[in-house]
Amino acid sequence: MTPPPVTGGEARSPGVDPEALVASAVEVLEATTTLTELDEAQTELLGKRSALVRAHQALASLEPAQRPEAGRRLNEARRSIESHLSERREEFERGERAARLQADRLDLTEVIAPPLRGRLHVVQRTRVELEDVFVGMGFVVAEGPEAETDWYNFEALNMPPAHPARGMWDTLYLELGEPETVMLRTHTSPVQIRLMESQGPPIYAVMPGKCYRRDTPDSRHIPTFHQIEGLVVDRGISFADLAGTIETFTTAYFGLDIHSRLRPSYFPFTEPSAEYEITCTICKGKGCRTCSQTGWIELGGCGMVDPAVFEAVGLDPDEWTGFAFGFGIDRCTQMRHEIPDMRVFFDNDVRVLRQI
Ligand code: PHE
């Protein structure tokens, strides 16, 4: 195809009008939607086969006098097309950069949906919360085995063989060693002995864990349950320290409107001993079925470490004093969440467990 001649001066027709070249180039550029299309348009508008190049070649066919002017106008057209082209290129690049930034953007305000993998059982959560309260009061957390020997579960706790206090407890023995020497522990108090044997005073520790008793399940009892034991051994510890610790714990965990009281009681390993009770959170002390109409719920027992226990672990009772307490974690959960019947924790009906 022979390129159309470029006109110079006023008389443009019938040659190529550089301004028309620019106008149609702008149209082509505006129609592009991607950088690849733009590259193609560049070849089409400025490449060897472009109308512009052909118009340049056609200059040769002009009168020599007309050539410089026509050439100047063609060069102007080329510059104009080039600048439109680079403007368009920048537009695309800006857009691409913005898109990339948008895609890379980290939304730090995004709420991550909780994983659907479940969570700790409410009794385990109580255990963690109780540990936190005591750690905040300066205690450390310790643990002991669930299968215990007679020595730890009874004897070192001042319950020699045939002691009447064993009566309600000596039940769940394991077929291990001599008959009736290894059992599922009935309380967490054996960990007191283990701690005193393995480390010297001062001791400020809590010991949570599972316990087993031949109990008939009812609204406040479960045969496999959880306790948290406390033990303080130091010089000059008094019953007031025990009462203060219990009260501080009660208000920290249950809130300021729940009170504690200690009622005289008996445990072979503490002297004096007390029952630790709190205001029934279900009736707020008025009396209901759960608290047997008393307005109080027993959480556990406590007292000053009996001198016989210190002797059993080789500590001098004239030098060392201490207190111990042990109470039910399940009972705490029940009171904290105001649940009339403890059995719902272990029926494992997820519709219930999801609510607490
Ligand atoms: N171990 C006792 C129980 O299970 C509770 C207790 C612990 C009492 C520590 C006094 C001191 O009933």
What does residue 298 show for φ and ψ, rounded to 5 degrees? -80, 125
The structure tokens listed for 124 are 């385990």
Q: Is the CB of 325 under 6 A from ligand 1?
A: yes
Asked if residues 59 and 3 have their Cβ atoms less than 8 Å apart, the reply is no
Residue range 272-317, pLDDT digits in tens: 999 999 999 989 999 998 899 999 999 999 999 999 999 999 999 9
Alpha carbon nearest to ligand 1 atom 7, residue: 326
Alpha carbon nearest to ligand 1 atom 10, residue: 302
* Distance from C-alpha of 58 to C-alpha of 42, rounded to nearest angstrom: 21
Check residue 6 and give its pLDDT.
54
Which amino acid is located at 67 in the chain? R
Ligand 1 atom closest to the Cα of residue 323 is 11
Q: State the average pLDDT over residues 89-110.
A: 86
**Whether the model pTM is above 0.75:** no
Which amino acid is located at 134 in the chain? F
Rounded to 5°, the CA angle 56-58-63 comes to 110
Which amino acid is located at 210 in the chain? K
Q: State the average pLDDT over residues 94-118.
A: 81
Q: Given a cut of 90, is residue 5 above it in pLDDT?
A: no
Q: DSSP string spanning 164-178?
A: GGGTTT---B-SSSS
Ligand 1 mean position to 326 CA, how many Å? Answer: 5
**Helix ranges (DSSP H) in the chain:** 18-31, 35-46, 51-58, 67-104, 122-136, 150-153, 190-198, 239-254, 307-312, 329-336, 344-347, 350-353
Residue range 312-337, pLDDT digits in tens: 999 999 999 999 999 999 999 998 99
Mean pLDDT in the chain? 91
Which amino acid is located at 101 in the chain? L
Q: How far is CA 78 from CA 4, 17, 75, 274, in A?
A: 17, 12, 5, 102
What is the H or E stretch that residue 293 is in? none
Residue range 140-184, pLDDT digits in tens: 999 999 999 999 999 999 999 989 988 888 789 999 999 989 999
Q: State the average pLDDT over residues 81-92.
A: 93
* Distance from C-alpha of 213 to C-alpha of 243, rounded to nearest angstrom: 27
Ligand 1 atom closest to the Cα of residue 189 is 1
- Residue 68, Cβ neighbours under 10 Å: how many? 12
For the chain, how many helices (H) and strands (E)? 12, 9
Q: Is the CB of 270 under 6 A from ligand 1?
A: yes
Check residue 171 and give its pLDDT.
81
Residue range 189-209, pLDDT digits in tens: 999 999 999 999 999 999 999
The structure tokens listed for 327 are 């109470």
Q: Given a cut of 70, is residue 10 above it in pLDDT?
A: no
Ligand 1 mean position to 216 CA, how many Å? Answer: 19
Ligand 1 mean position to 310 CA, how many Å? Answer: 16
Check residue 220 and give its pLDDT.
86
Check residue 4 and give its pLDDT.
55
Residues 6 or more apart in contact with residue 76 via CB below 8 angstroms = 18
Q: Is the CB of 193 under 6 A from ligand 1?
A: no
**Closest by Cα among 196, 221, 199 to 211:** 221
